[in-house]
Amino acid sequence: MIKLLKCEYMKTRRRYVFLTALVITAAMLLWIYPRHQGADLLRLGWMANLYELPLINSIFMPLLSIIVSSRLCDIEHKGSMLKQLAVTKRRGQIYDAKFLYGLAIMLFCVVLSWGTTIAFGYIAGFDGDVPINLYLLYLLLTAVPTVAVYIFQHALSLCFKNQAVTFFSGAIGTFFGTFSMFLPQLPWLRRALIWGGYGALSFVGLFDWTKEDRYKFAHFDVMGVDWKYFIALIFACVAMYVIGRKIFKRKEL
């Protein structure tokens, strides 16, 4: 497996997969930071991040999953490379190596955005100390939906030679996952979609915000985490991984 992972690095280092992932992560962070201006937002900065980031993640993390999985797998579809690899390595090993390599890039970007967000809070001068327990919880509740989305995208990218299938499916899922966050009266919708996991697992609410006063009298409160959905999402990850792996092993190359 170590040799296969090293092989993945050697094959993709000139495709700038990791650099592309960093650029998308940077774009996500640049979208967030300019919003934290004014005394009220500096006062509420730490909690405002926890409230706003799930929505931003629901857009950028699935996009990142689409691009990383597609670029890692597209190289194998060109020139029938999968057939050649299958001669020397078992299909399950090929599937796992590409999955672990791409997942490592995804999780690195999740941790990078998390750490950069905290660093920015200190630099911007957010009031008080960082609520580290809440930020660690946020990290966990961001990583799991990201893993779920990536498992799905990886299976599509490796099982379908036409990467338009991957892009189209991911784009549709991302749209509905993000759209579901604007429909709090329909909580079942976000729970029905793996892309809605960012919203379903958000745990900070905004109260007393008004159009006139905006954040002057607003405050954020910690709400309960939907742990049943969290556990269901983990089971969904396992199921999607097993099913995707089996389909790839039986697929005609």
Measure the CA–CA gap between 166 and 158, rounded to whole angstroms. 9
CB 181 within 8 A of CB 193: no
* pLDDT score at 230: 94
**Which of 55-59, 81-85, 96-100 bottoms out in mean pLDDT, i.e. has the lowest?**
81-85
pLDDT of residue 92: 80
> Measured between alpha carbons, how far is 174 from 75 in angstroms, rounded to an integer?
24
Checking if the pLDDT of 37 tops 60, the result is no
Q: What is the mean pLDDT of the chain?
A: 84
**Which residue matches tokens 């966050």?**
181
Residue with tokens 């999780």: 107
Amino acid letter, 33: Y
What proportion of the chain, given as a percentage, has pLDDT over 70? 85
Report how far residue 22's alpha carbon sits from residue 38's, in angstroms, rounded to the nearest whole number.
Answer: 29
Q: Quick one: pLDDT at residue 206?
A: 79
Region of poorest pLDDT, from 107-116, 207-216, 219-228:
207-216
* Chain length of the chain: 253
* The residue type at 119: A
Average pLDDT over residues 46-67: 90
Q: Does pLDDT of 182 surpass 60?
A: yes
* Lowest mean pLDDT, pick from 84-88, 115-119, 239-243: 84-88
Q: Are 55 and 9 in contact (CB under 8 A)?
A: no
Residue 210 pLDDT: 59
Minimum mean pLDDT among 31-40, 105-114, 133-142, 173-182: which range? Answer: 31-40
Q: How confident is the model at residue 137 (pLDDT cuts 50, 70, 90)?
A: very high
∠ CA 246-247-250 to the nearest 5 degrees? 85
Range 134-152 average pLDDT = 95
- Banded model confidence at residue 35, pLDDT cuts 50, 70, 90: low
Q: Are 232 and 145 in contact (CB under 8 A)?
A: no
